[in-house]
Amino acid sequence: MRRLSIRGGEFSLVGDNQQEVLSSDNINVIIINAAPVSRSYFGAQFDPNKSTAPVCWSDDTQRPSPKVPQENVQARRCMDCTQNVRGSGENGGRACRFQQRLAVVFEGDLEEVYQLQINALTIFGKVVNGNMSMQAYARHLSTHDMSVIAVVTNIYFDKDSVVPKLYFKPMRPVDTDTGIKVSEMVTHEDTKKAITSVVSVSGEAPSPFSAVEGGFDINAN
C-alpha cells in the first residue's frame, strides 16, 4: 500500500520499501474517499519516529475493533477506557489518539492511490485566518454544494505547529474527464485498502478532545 507521510513536517511518498521526500511543503490532490474518524492506542512505549502497529484501536471511536487481539483490548467501550482519560498520555493529553485515513490521488496520476493519515489537530478545529481543518474544509465545500471528490484540494502544513498539522483549501473543480476517472477509483481495491489499513501516525499530538466530533461524508453536498 502506498502512503503519503507527513513525518517531520514534510511530505513523503512511501511504498515498496522506498521513500521519496517531496520538495514542496504543499501538494495538490483529489480526496477520493475517507474512513470515519477512528482512535488508536500505541502503548506506553510509543515512538513517533518509528512505524509501529497500534496495541488497540477503534474504527468507530465507540468500541475496540473486532480485529484487536483479545489480550490487547483496553476496555469494552472507549468511554470507559483508562487510555481515554485526560492525563493518560503525554503532556496531560489522552493516550488514545484520534485519527482519520484519507485516500488521495495526485492530479498527474489518478490511478495511484495513497493513504494519508491525519491526526486530531488536522481533523478538528475552527477556521483561523482562512486556514481550514479537514472537517471545516468539508463543511465549507458543503455550503457551496460541492463534495471533496469534485475539487482539487491543496494541502499544506501549519508552519506554526510544533507537530505536523495540515490545512486544506480548494483550488478548482475537476474537469469532466477527471471526474469520471476519480469516480471509478472510489471503490477500487487500492482505495478500500487505503481507508481500512491501520498503521502508526508519526508526529501525532496527544488528543485534546473529550468527545469525537465525527467524520464527514465524502459525497456531502
129-144 residue pLDDT tens: 999 999 999 999 999 9
Indicate whether 92 pLDDT > 90.
Answer: no
pTM of the predicted model over 0.85: no
pLDDT on residue 16:
75
pLDDT at 44: 64
* Confidence bin at 50 (pLDDT 50/70/90): low
User: What DSSP line would sit under the chain, residue for residue?
Assistant: --EEE-GGGS-EEEETTEEEE-S-SEEEEEEEEEPPPEEEE--TT--TTS----SEEESSSSS--TTS-GGG---SSGGG-GGGSTTSSGGGSBSSEEEEEEEEEETTEEEEEEEEEEEHHHHS---BTTBB-HHHHHHHHHHTT--GGGEEEEEEE-TT-SS--EEEEEEEEPPHHHHHHHHHHTT-HHHHHHHH-----TTPPPB--SS------TT--
Q: What average pLDDT does the chain have?
A: 86
Average pLDDT over residues 31-50: 80
- Interatomic CA distance for residues 95 and 86, integer angstroms: 8
In the structure grid, which three cell numbers stand for residue 71, read together?
Answer: 489480550
What burial letters (b/e) apply to 108-137, b meaning 16+ CB within 10 Å?
eebeebbbbbbbbbbbbbeeeeebbbbbbb
Has residue 117 got a pLDDT over 80? yes
Summarize pLDDT for 171-205 with one digit per residue, the tens. 999 999 999 999 999 999 999 999 988 665 444 44
Confidence of residue 93 (pLDDT cuts 50, 70, 90): confident
Percent of the chain topping pLDDT 90: 70
